[in-house]
Chains A and B, each alone.
Chain A
Amino acid sequence: MFNEPVKIILRRFRDRSLESGLLIIAVALGIGAFSAGLSLIMNTIKFSNEIMSSPEYKELVVSTRSNANEMDVPVKEKLVNETAVLTSEDLEAANLAPDVEWAYVQNHSMLMLISADSSSNNFGPPGGMGAPQGGMGGPQGGGPDNGQAPPDGMDNNQDEQGGPGGPDFHRMSEEEIAEAKADADIILSDLERVSGFEVTPQFFNSWNIEAAEGSLFSTSDLRGTDNIIVLGSEFAKLLAGDDMKVSDLLGKKLLARGGYQTIVGILNPVSEEYDSKFFKPYREDNGGMRGLRRGFMDTRLRFAVEDPEQLDSTETQLQNWFTSQFGDAQIVISNPRAEAEQLVARNTGIGILILFLSAAGFFIALVNVSNILMSRVLRMKKNVGILMALGASRKDIRNLFLSESLLLAVSGGIAGVILAVPLSNYMETAAGITSGSWLFIAAGAIIAGVLTFVFGLIPARQFMKIDPAIAMRSVS
């Protein structure tokens, strides 16, 4: 397989197993650290670019100060001190901020579903099965939203039929469940709960989300009373199961503790975050409980711009408008992009530092490897003289000893990649990178392998310079 000169190199490599093993380990550690470091910084940049291009980071979020400080403010105190209440009507602030492209509400919500197998906890629609549109009202337990769904799973805006103190639903009997199960238009899910969002229609515009089946809801649906929902693509697949096409879900009613939810649309795939969720129209409470309800519900207004550069000026414009409406210190406008940029800068800085350290370690390893290979020049001087006497040209000699560097680079590179993969995965997980690409590890290993080979050129070139007459004098 190999010719005789290469056999000399390979067998010397084998016979000096300790020295060769240490060389390979040094190269492997260097290549592993370098490729993992390179992978980390490249994946950090890639991931940062991906998330910064998300619509989430082209918008400003407006909330009441108590909502903004949610974790720090006890519910009781918040209820007492709350004066500002945000509603979707406040989205008109966008009229004074010309760069705002889309303005919408996006609140977390949750549906408690009724399954056929868990009758002990099945609280069905009021009036039994004959009143499918009678949604249940009132949050169960209330409390701060924290940007999440209400604690007991009732969605935020189902209080048309009830208030916070008077839930109007009854425990469904087995007969009622059996009746619902038999109805082809009613869907009983195996899930106990599913999370989703209450949104105003421009949410879909801002995220460029379109309906794959059926339709999205419109502004007029915000004023209606029908319980309609749009399903994320994965949630729809889950409900449809193997027996039904996703499109068959349209018009069917999902049985939930809050009432039947009529499915009007199914979304195209968007993202992991949204595909497994449902979307309901955000509806204003017009029942007199509005102040109290909105006080501890998380109504956050979002104003999206096309160009992130417009965020600062838009923030100023919105701040002026909300100050004029609610006074100072009532409303907080947060800029997720600014926070994300800080995080990105920190992660990038750490990534660069790690890359620098790993590159420094790799360089030191290469210098040492080159020195060890160089010392072989002296030990192999006699062999070079013999090989030249037998017909090897200087180029043959250089290529022969480059094959040793190549062997070192390839074996060290493979071992380095084996080290780099878990190391890189660990660092990227720690940095919160979820979409890392292995290609950067491969690229890092290739670059490092080439550098190892290049450093191997130095001793190989020294071999070329050996004067055969001097070498021969040492062997004669």
Chain B
Amino acid sequence: MLRLENICKQYDLGDTKVDALKNISLEIKRGDYAAIMGPSGSGKSTMMHIIGILDSATGGKYYLEDYDITALPDKEQARIRNKHFGFIFQSFNLFPELSAMENVMLPMTYAGIPVKERKERAAKLLYEVGLEHRMTHLPTMLSGGEQQRVAIARSLSNDPDLILADEPTGNLPSDKGEEIMEILESLNKRGVTVVMVTHNPSQGKRAGYVIELRDGELCSSSTNGDSNV
């Protein structure tokens, strides 16, 4: 589904240059459940941003469905993020001004979906994550677990090919975190590709594909425990 070839990311901090990613090459297939792991500062978030086209590589090539999307115009990047990717964040990042349903409807606005259809789809997604009774609630009226479930519903609103989850359980108690993990796993079983950044080794073990980064380098990638590097 996506392929990175010798991806580099260098930050120019005046006199010094910092290599955040060094020659990363990997491939994530459609339907994969991948976990990106590594200590703080290893480049996990940078890699996640490059995969999500929120940041651009300073070297290498990025292929999405065999199309080179390394340097796309802003509008096209936005379209891909909107139609093909779904983002889930550690701190949920719902808009406090919008209700649960409106938060889920938000990405559909950028997809040009009519308001009636937006409402129907948002209601269905919230039902799927068990929040049919919380649709009109503002995020401040929801628990952390509920907010993250709204965020998951939002990430699914445009029926994406790839879910990018950045430590989705980092702000949740373990029982609620488990609920979120189960939802992600069920999504993966339905064919959605999931790429998750996590510090939690037990969550990494549940992923089918683990990518380990250290100091910006790919130190290992393994499938079901088999190390490839």
**CA distance in complex: A3, B106 (Å):** 8
Given contacts A7-B102, A391-B158, A394-B78, 9 further A-B contacts (CB under 8 A): A4-B105, A4-B109, A5-B109, A8-B95, A383-B95, A468-B54, A469-B46, A469-B55, A475-B93
Choice from B75, B158, B166 contacting A395 with Cβ under 8 Å: B75
**CA distance in complex: A15, B154 (Å):** 24
**CA distance in complex: A475, B79 (Å):** 21
Choice from B49, B77, B154 contacting A390 with Cβ under 8 Å: B154
Name the residue on A nearest B154 (C-beta). Answer: A390
**CA distance in complex: A386, B109 (Å):** 14
Contact: A389 with B102, CB < 8 Å? Answer: no
**CA distance in complex: A385, B97 (Å):** 16
Contacts of A427 in B (CB 8 A): none
A382 within 8 Å of B (CB atoms) = yes
Choice from A11, A391, A394 contacting B79 with Cβ under 8 Å: A391
Contact: B91 with A475, CB < 8 Å? Answer: yes
Given A4-B105, A386-B93: A391 and B98 interface contact (C-beta under 8 Å): no
30 A-B pairs (CB sep. < 8 Å): A3-B115, A4-B98, A7-B98, A8-B98, A382-B93, A385-B54, A387-B106, A388-B54, A389-B52, A389-B54, A389-B81, A389-B87, A390-B154, A391-B79, A391-B81, A391-B111, A391-B158, A393-B74, A393-B75, A393-B77, A393-B79, A394-B74, A394-B78, A395-B74, A396-B110, A472-B45, A473-B45, A473-B49, A475-B89, A475-B93
For window 46-101 of B, CB contacts with A under 8 Å fall at: 46, 48-49, 52, 54-55, 74-75, 77-79, 81-83, 87, 89-91, 93, 95, 97-98
Contacts of A469 in B (CB 8 A): 46, 49, 54-55
B167 within 8 Å of A (CB atoms) = yes
Question: Interface size bucket, A side?
Answer: 20 to 34
Given A473-B45, A475-B93, A476-B89: A388 and B78 interface contact (C-beta under 8 Å): yes
Chain A at the B interface: SS class:
helix
Min C-beta distance of A121 to chain B, whole Å: 79
Q: Which of B75, B93, B107, B167 has the most CB of A within 10 A?
A: B93
Min C-beta distance of A400 to chain B, whole Å: 11
Contacts of A386 in B (CB 8 A): 89, 93, 95
**CA distance in complex: A220, B215 (Å):** 115
Contacts of B49 in A (CB 8 A): 468-469, 472-473
A223 within 8 Å of B (CB atoms) = no
**CA distance in complex: A393, B49 (Å):** 16
**CA distance in complex: A392, B154 (Å):** 14
Contact: B74 with A390, CB < 8 Å? Answer: no
Contacts of B89 in A (CB 8 A): 386, 475-476
Min C-beta distance of A168 to chain B, whole Å: 92
Name the residue on B nearest A15 (C-beta). Answer: B97
Contacts of A15 in B (CB 8 A): 97
**CA distance in complex: A12, B97 (Å):** 7
Contacts of A7 in B (CB 8 A): 97-98, 102
Contacts of A385 in B (CB 8 A): 54
Contacts of B93 in A (CB 8 A): 382, 386, 475
Contacts of A5 in B (CB 8 A): 106, 109
Min C-beta distance of B199 to chain A, whole Å: 12
Name the residue on A nearest B88 (C-beta). Answer: A389
Q: Rank and list the top 3 A-B pairs by shortest CB-CB distance, nearest first.
A: A391-B82, A469-B55, A393-B78
Contacts of A11 in B (CB 8 A): 97-98
For window 359-418 of A, CB contacts with B under 8 Å fall at: 382-383, 385-396
Contacts of A382 in B (CB 8 A): 93
Interface residues as binary, B112-145 with A (CB distance below 8 Å gives 1, 0 otherwise): 0001000000000000000000000000000000
Contacts of A392 in B (CB 8 A): 78, 82, 110
Min C-beta distance of A419 to chain B, whole Å: 30
Choice from A4, A383, A390, A467 contacting B81 with Cβ under 8 Å: A390
Min C-beta distance of A384 to chain B, whole Å: 11
Contacts of B97 in A (CB 8 A): 7-8, 11-12, 15
Name the residue on B nearest A389 (C-beta). Answer: B87
Given A468-B55, A469-B54: A390 and B110 interface contact (C-beta under 8 Å): yes
Name the residue on B nearest A391 (C-beta). Answer: B82
Contacts of A473 in B (CB 8 A): 45, 49
Interface residues as binary, B166-190 with A (CB distance below 8 Å gives 1, 0 otherwise): 1100000000000000000000000
Contacts of B55 in A (CB 8 A): 467-469, 472
For window 1-57 of A, CB contacts with B under 8 Å fall at: 3-5, 7-8, 11-12, 15
Min C-beta distance of B88 to chain A, whole Å: 10
Min C-beta distance of B193 to chain A, whole Å: 17
**CA distance in complex: A204, B60 (Å):** 92
Name the residue on A nearest B94 (C-beta). Answer: A386
Contact: A396 with B95, CB < 8 Å? Answer: no
